[in-house]
Amino acid sequence: FSYPHSGTVYGQSIFCISLPYTSIEDVAKIMTFTYPKFYDFYLPPTFSSENPIMTGILSNQQKHVTSPPFQLETTFHSTDGVVLHNFAKSNDFHKDLYDAYLAPILQESLFVETWQNGPDSDTLPSNCSIKFQVYNIQMIRFPNGDFKETKDHSKWAVSRTGSWICIGDINRQSTQFHRGGGTMCMSDPHVWKEYTNIIRDIETCGPIFG
């Protein structure tokens, strides 16, 4: 594997988590919603017999979710005891992950940074028509320079108040209504503050996507 030159153009993020062995099947259940593609994997034979869903996913034999509910919340505890909440949706959810699922379930308004390139008709504007509002981040700032959301391929969200930070793989675009994916969240005031501090501009509310 080599890092592609195209990877120097757009920002991205990664969230590394150490989970106990007992979490394997919970991770696999999420994958039945999100349809991941695998670069490489290895599952020891003893693990395979004890984790049939994961074995089916990796062998491309496990059926994906085909009936409601088309969303799934899963709670994890990392090996260091950090509580994490995963919110996944299947390609049959047919709604925005953030304003239709994440904000209502967290009961928090959100600032969301996602990829906003593509046709304007696909891009979802900030949504202030709902109880827990969702705002698109338009510019983030760092000591060595600022950049727009069109130069950032990462997908993350922070609660407007409180301490929620979520990192995932779904953009706020209508084309994503028909794509499986999700986000992993934790409540941590220190991490929340670091992310909140890099928000420079947000999109104020305009016409709401119908």
Q: Which residues are catalytic?
A: 153
Number of H helices, E strands in the chain: 6, 9
User: 86 and 92 in contact (C-beta within 8 Å)?
Assistant: no
Run of H or E including 168: strand 164-168
Cβ neighbours, 10 Å, residue 171 = 26
Distance CA 170, CA 197 (A): 22
Cβ neighbours, 10 Å, residue 69 = 12
Distance CA 105, CA 190 (A): 22
User: 177 and 194 in contact (C-beta within 8 Å)?
Assistant: no
